Amino acid sequence: MNLSGWPVHLQAPPELRAPPLRPGSASPGTETLAVFQELVVTMQLFILLFLLLSHVDVVTAVAGCRSDRDRDHRSRLNCTALGFSDVPAGLDPTTKVLLFPNNLFSSLSWSSFQIFKDIYEIDLTDNKVPDVSSSVSPVLPTLSVLRLSFNRLTALSGGAFSACPGLTELYLDNNAINSLRDNTFSGLSKLEILDLTSNRIKVLPALMLHPLPAIETLYLENNKITVMPNNWFSQKEEVPYLYLSANPWACSCSLGYLRRYLDDYELNVYVRDGPIIKSDGESVVCDSPQWFKGTPVLTLEESDLCSPPTGAGPPGDLDQLVTFMTPDMTFAADTTVFYPDPTTPPVASPPPPTTLPSYHSPPTTLPPPILFLPLLLFLLLPSSPYYSSSSYHSPSCYESSSSCYESSSTNSSFSLVLVPLLHQTHGSD
């Protein structure tokens, strides 16, 4: 057999090679050598094929989903952005990771995933799921990770995740959740990570954490939470990773429990800055009342939360009743002040007058001048005993200077009465 066309590393060593045969002659070892060389080539091809299958994704023929493996070597189907509104038929039931981000799922039907007996993770991020229906039985007992971020969730009922009691990670961030119940997460005794970031949660149910004894990481950032219920962490006193920033905390007496908790577990409070997380106990900041706005809760004394500082302005919605202290430093229970509601618009004051008042206008308290007309006529009549003229004097005036003086005095008195009355009469005209 001619081996000149074979690669050098596939050829037998020279010392093992048979001597070249003369034309027309045959060797008994020729057939054995040929079989050996073919076996070597087959083994090389098998190794090459194995390496290709280990590193290259294989495209499945079912609905365009790509099949590969995750970092832990679990079988995975990636069906991202393929327009699915439900789980398509024909998928491999042995798949452990199902990825359906950016599709059109408008509901979450647990029964659609029942065929995947060993399912580990389901990703429904960025779909249109409005709610999660509870189940009476554990439909997916092996499910460990559920991602429902960026959906349309608004409220979660009691036992919403009872279909998957083995959950260890639950992602519900960036929805519109505004209400939770005490038993929303009932049955999730293995849950370690709960993400509720960027929702519209206003009130934390008092017993919400009781079904979660294994919780390790709790995200409550960027919600509308104002108060934390008393003894909220009683079931799991220490949560190693707690995110509470970007909430409108109302720093009043009702926040005393959170203040004490931060004092004990300050190092467990974290904030996220992109991919970086760091411990920051002062990330929990007051939003109201106004005089505490922007102040870290941790820097306030618990007594500060129950009374406004000296010279503080009007309080917020939660502090409209303030009790003051008497000079002898005893509380006066009956001495209270009510501040106006800051949301009520102020009453507009009337505009100032645009013209100055006239100095010649008669006082509004005086009677009308017409009432003095009868008195004026009485004084002007010649028969009046007060009538006289500056150019007329009775004969007695020349006879007695004293009587003339008396007449002149009467004239002066008359002028003092008549002139102001005439001035007032003409002024009113």
Structural domain spans, the chain = 369-376+388-428
Residue the block writes with tokens 């720093």: 251
Report which of 86, 138, 82 is spatially closest to residue 107, judged by C-alpha positions. 86
Range with the poorest average pLDDT among 117-131, 175-189, 371-385:
371-385
pLDDT, tens only, 228-256: 999 999 989 999 999 999 999 999 999 99
pLDDT digits (tens, 9 = 90+) for 91-116: 999 999 999 999 999 999 999 999 99
Sign of the alpha-carbon dihedral angle for 408, 409, 414, 416: positive
Which residues pair with residue 401 across a beta bridge? none
Q: pLDDT (tens digit, 9 = 90+) per residue, 42-73?
A: 877 777 666 555 544 444 446 689 999 999 99
Order across the sheet with 97-99: list the strands: 58-59, 66-69, 75-78, 97-99, 121-123, 145-147, 169-171, 193-195, 217-219, 241-243
Give the model's pLDDT for residue 49. 67
According to the model, what pLDDT value does residue 324 have?
38
Answer for the pair 243, 197: CB distance below 8 angstroms, yes or no. Answer: yes
What's the number of CA atoms in the CB half-sphere (13 Å) around residue 275?
0
Q: For residue 362, which amino acid is it? A: P
Residue 155 has pLDDT above 90, yes or no: yes
Spatial separation of the C-alpha atoms in residues 390 and 381, rounded to whole Å? 16
Q: Which pLDDT does position 418 carry in this prediction?
A: 45
Q: Using a cut of 0.75, tell me whether the model's pTM lies above it.
A: no
Please determine, for residue 335, whether its predicted confidence score (pLDDT) is greater than 60. no
> What pLDDT is stored for residue 306 in this prediction?
86
pLDDT-derived band at 378, boundaries 50, 70, 90? low
User: Mean per-residue pLDDT for 356-370?
Assistant: 52
Q: What is the mean pLDDT of the chain?
A: 77
**Token pair of 303 as six digits:** 């007594």
Both tokens of residue 277? 């997380």
Using CA atoms, how far residue 372 sits from 124, 414, 427, in Å, is 98, 15, 14
* Lowest mean pLDDT segment, chosen from 54-58, 177-181, 189-193, 263-267: 54-58
CA 418, chain centre distance (Å): 82
pLDDT-above-70 percentage for the chain = 60
